[in-house]
Amino acid sequence: MADTDDPFALFARWFAEAEQSEPNDPNGMALATATPDGRPSVRMVLMKDWDRDGFVFYTNLESRKGDELRANRAVALLFHWKSLRRQVRIEGHAEDVTAAEADAYFATRPRLARLGAWASDQSRPLASRAALIARAAAMEVRYPIGDIPRPPHWSGYRVVPAQFEFWQDMPFRLHDRVVFARATNGWTQGNLYP
């Protein structure tokens, strides 16, 4: 499987194949965070950008994940591409994206999604769906035309990898597992038993 010693090159190839084969959201990834005392939490988010610096997603900074990331920057990601019978696990730490990056991405979102970022108190109790719809309507009144600024509580994180694991399903459960770990001057590479 790993005909390269560069985990980013292998990810690029696998992601390109997933974009061709996955019926929905090839950029969907499970994000695992934890509280300072180690209580884990996982949810699906969408990767909005990636490069050799890391994997970027955006969120409400006041959400549960935002609270956990403020307290504990250690995270894990999981891409699962069922149609290809592959997954990629990434462990690392989360860094804040710049305000300019967050502004640029926010400006690309559909208008209703930008209004929703203002209307939603993500992860906090909601009395009724009608209450959320009313808040969204109030945001449409507040911003009837033109630009909608990025809320101060909405931004993004870049997950900087310390380790990758590439998993490929193989017959008789003799799966192929290749691990890359960040080293001082590059990446070490090895295999794991399935």
Running DSSP on this structure, what letter comes out for residue 63? S
- For residue 80, pLDDT over 70 is answered with yes
DSSP code per residue over 151-191 = PTTEEEEEEEEEEEEEEE--GGG--EEEEEEEETTEEEEEE
List pLDDT tens digits, range 67-76. 999 999 999 9
Q: Is 130 part of a structural domain of the chain?
A: no
Q: For position 57, which CATH number holds?
A: 2.30.110.10
Domain count, the chain: 1
Measure the CA–CA gap between 37 and 27, rounded to whole angstroms: 30
pLDDT at 15: 98
Residues acting as catalytic residues: 173
Q: Is 127 part of a structural domain of the chain?
A: no
The pLDDT confidence band at residue 156, using thresholds 50, 70 and 90, is very high
Whole-number average pLDDT of the chain: 94
- For residue 1, pLDDT over 80 is answered with no
pLDDT at 12: 97
Q: Is 146 part of a structural domain of the chain?
A: no
Report pTM.
0.93
Q: Is 166 part of a structural domain of the chain?
A: yes
Which structural domain, as residue segments, surrounds residue 179?
7-110+152-191
Mean pLDDT, range 17-26, rounded to an integer = 95
